[in-house]
Structure 1
Amino acid sequence: MSLTILLFDKAPWRNHLLPLSASRPVGNLRVGICTLDEKWQRIFQSPVFFATADYLQPSFPIDDHSSTDPSLKNLFLIIQANVLPDISLLEELENLRVGEVLVSSDRWIACKLDFIPEDIPGIISSLQPVKSSSNVQFIHHPEDIFLQNKQQLEFDFELLTKGRVSAAISSNNMLFGDRIFIEPGAHVEGVSLNSLDGPIYIGKNAQLEEGSFLRGQVAIGESARVKMMARLYPNVSIGPGSTIAGEVNNTVIWGNSAKGHDGYLGCSVIGEGCNIGAGSSNSNLKNNWQDVRLYDYEYLSYRQTDVLKCGMIMGDLAMLGINSSVNTGTVIGVAAQVAMSNIIPKFVPDFSWQVGDDYSSYRFDKFLDMLERRKLATGTEISGNIAIFEHIYNNTAGLRTEVINNQTKK
């Protein structure tokens, strides 16, 4: 029997996760140590594909992996892409039969079929409902990523390390607790590793420089670098290839991003290929102790988060200049370029250029030039092809123009 996992996000709710979901399927978001698709692949030991937005689908094609052996039945487990796995949910998914749909409250979680329907939501009502008894957690909004990260980091730590033995830990480190796992090739010397309250995971070929402090739960991705004197508090996930310095707390940073200098970053989600300039810091708490509001692309306005602390949400390839001051609850879009001496606006649209008092649109040809220079300088490429970024650029043109015009009038 052949099983294929399909992560479904071709629905209006994906827009609430912008700008993080602009350049990738929701099932490719990183929460904990792994991306969502990496989790499901490891759990079921099955291939994972995405049923996603039309402009993303060509870059993430679906292969139904149909077996050429007629004696093998092909099964497809279709899961809402923003569902977070946990132990009790896994048992329910494993027990799901063909033609059944697992439901929680008024939402479907997953269904099992022997084919991939063209209209997945349209077929749900014809399936046999099975009520879930699990406390199913979803990623509804960007802030849910750092809010759910601690639980997912614990889940992923067990998923990645169960039955395995950590690489040797040098005696030159200060160790507190024994929930520390280091992958082969990682270089960790002169570091304080405190796992008394949560695990610490250090990926393959990661570099942790002397004098840095890690207090679990913390995950450092493959080939990431933690610079000297960095302070990483609980609930921090650093994606592969990223560089980290300064003070970081309650934050998820995706792959190949850089916060390479002093400054505070907290209660935030940073996309892939971002850069945060030296001395930059964000606020995560309002002076009046009111809950934070965030810009929501689906509403085209601000949304109450019902969260007391929230820093910034930054889309892929966005950049902040040195000494940037980021207010509580700031959303910065894909490829936005910001260098301001005063506090950054609470919403910076995708592909906007905000330098000092100058607000303008980032020319797409200049963006492509930047990507090429970045590739030559770093030797890394960003996920997603040019067609995806061109779609984002064109699709956000009206919003970008409106916001720029409003800022210019102030």
Structure 2
Amino acid sequence: MTQIILFEDQAAARFLPLAWTRPVFDLRCGLWTLCEAIEQSYGQKASALFVRDFLAEAVRERTGLPVNRAPSEGMVLLLNGRLLADAALPEALPAQGTPRRFVNEEGVLLGAWVDGSVLAQGLAAVEALPTEVLSWPLVAWPWELFQRNGERITSQAQGWPLGQQPDLVGVHLLSLSDIFIHPTAQVQPGVVLDATGGPILLEAGALVMANAVMQGPCYVGPKSTIKIGAKIYHGSTFGPHCKVGGEIEETIIHGYSNKQHDGFLGHAYLGEWCNLGADTNNSDLKNNYGSVSIWCEGDWRDTGSMFVGLLMGDHSKTGINSMLNTGTVVGISSNLFGGSLPPRLVPSFSWGGADGLSEYRLDKALETAEKVMARRKVVLSDAERRLLTHIFDSTAAERNNAQGTLG
């Protein structure tokens, strides 16, 4: 069997803070993570991974795979983890033929068919291979994840048993043939599932409570809950063990995070272990209808889009009645509170709001993370502690310089 190895490239830095705690290919877009979509297209799991060094220990623990270590023999299909995979990818980047590397028109490495002994010399060794230029989409910027989410749900759902639903009472289903409800999912009376604009998929153990309205395309992951009266618009993905309520549009909630009260969340990506307090609202549109800029790679970058709301890293939280401006970036393990708009850039391990930010002590942050994860019967391992400690140390300059970088 072909050995498939995924790698991160230098563009990983663009995806901070979401990619502080995970490889870029573990970010979601559609029904799956980028990694899972690649595995689905080739019909097999990755056999090894190349990630940034500080992630290696935690990723090795999470996956059980060799990390940053290539096989010593046999042919390997090396793939860029930012690839937007579909069923045609194996034909475009085949695991056969003469050894060669594949690059796009900009010279970005998409993948390589290479002997493991060559790869064991390091990823740079593939540069000596013959080159084939190939046009294939990559996720270039973090906001593209939610912008492309709806179309990815629609395309990926074609392989699912759409039209399968258990017996339901008092539930309104529009476009039955585009709705999948797992036999163990529950949908309470008064719910409207409107799949006329795209498929709706409810995974095992999902719960949609009474009077919620959901528009497709939309995906609800295992054991996630849509709260009473929620208004879920098109293009949203909720990973496993999320609690979701209020008004949400074109948003990805990675998993194990809560936004279960009233308030608007739109054109956003939330990491894991986040919690938005009651009546938290984010803006996703500027009053002048202009293009939204967002903090990325150390500067404010124009997204070219009118609708960009929030990027929030793992373990971050907001208090009740919080407001977040258009194009806000919140780092890892930050706590925001107060009734006025905080800065659009909130560095990791920050505490406060519009009146100012202070450093959130590492020991307190780890203590809170341990408590939050224990409620879902997940252990904060030593490897995860070391990862969070590394992020704390690596973002000290951001906290110290925050006053000079607020947008």
Q: What's the TM-score, normalizing by structure 1?
A: 0.90
1:376 positional shift: 3.5
Q: Distance in 1 between matches of 2:293 and 2:354?
A: 25
Paired AA for residue 34 in structure 2: L
Match of 1:181 in 2: 180
In 2 relative to 1, CA 357–292 (structure 1 residues): closer, same or farther, beyond 3 Å? Answer: same
Is 2:214 the counterpart of 1:252? no
Residues 2-401 of structure 1 correspond to what in structure 2 (within 5 A)?
A: 2-9=1-8, 11-48=9-46, 49-61=48-60, 62-63=65-66, 74-94=74-94, 96-106=96-106, 107-115=108-116, 117-118=119-120, 120-132=122-134, 134=135, 136-159=136-159, 161=160, 166-177=164-175, 178-190=177-189, 191-296=191-296, 298=297, 300-355=298-353, 357-381=355-379, 385-401=384-400
1:213-238 Cα offsets, whole Å, 9 max, x none, are 11100000000000011011110001
Q: Distance in 1 between matches of 2:164 and 2:113?
A: 37
Paired AA for residue 402 in structure 2: V
Instruction: Say which SS state the counterpart of residue 151 (structure 2) adopts.
Output: helix
1:86-128 Cα offsets, whole Å, 9 max, x none, are 2333321236535122222122211112306245542233222
1:373-403 Cα offsets, whole Å, 9 max, x none, are 2133343457971111111000001111221
Q: Distance in 2 between matches of 1:212 and 1:33?
A: 21
1:345 positional shift: 0.8
1:65 positional shift: 9.6
Q: Distance in 2 between matches of 1:19 and 1:388?
A: 13
**Is contact 1:4-1:46 (8 Å) kept?**
no
Q: Distance in 2 between matches of 1:399 and 1:148?
A: 30
In 2 relative to 1, CA 109–406 (structure 1 residues): closer, same or farther, beyond 3 Å? Answer: closer
**Is contact 2:207-2:225 (8 Å) kept?**
yes
Q: Distance in 2 between matches of 1:374 and 1:88?
A: 41
1:347-370 Cα offsets, whole Å, 9 max, x none, are 000011115625211111111111
Paired AA for residue 27 in structure 2: L
In 2 relative to 1, CA 292–353 (structure 1 residues): closer, same or farther, beyond 3 Å? Answer: same
In 2 relative to 1, CA 44–86 (structure 1 residues): closer, same or farther, beyond 3 Å? Answer: closer
Paired AA for residue 56 in structure 2: Q
Instruction: Say which SS state the counterpart of residue 335 (structure 1) adopts.
Output: coil
In 2 relative to 1, CA 305–115 (structure 1 residues): closer, same or farther, beyond 3 Å? Answer: same
Deviates more, 1:188-197 or 1:227-236: 188-197
Q: Distance in 2 between matches of 1:357 and 1:245?
A: 28
Paired AA for residue 330 in structure 1: T
**Is contact 1:96-1:102 (8 Å) kept?**
no
Q: Distance in 2 between matches of 1:306 and 1:254?
A: 24
Instruction: Say which SS state the counterpart of residue 56 (structure 1) adopts.
Output: helix
How large is the RMSD of aligned CA atoms in angstroms?
2.3
Paired AA for residue 377 in structure 2: G
Instruction: Percent identity, please.
Output: 29
In 2 relative to 1, CA 189–75 (structure 1 residues): closer, same or farther, beyond 3 Å? Answer: farther
In structure 1, stretches of 5+ residues that fail to align are 68-72
In 2 relative to 1, CA 263–373 (structure 1 residues): closer, same or farther, beyond 3 Å? Answer: same
Instruction: Say which SS state the counterpart of residue 184 (structure 1) adopts.
Output: coil
In 2 relative to 1, CA 288–358 (structure 1 residues): closer, same or farther, beyond 3 Å? Answer: closer
1:6 positional shift: 1.4
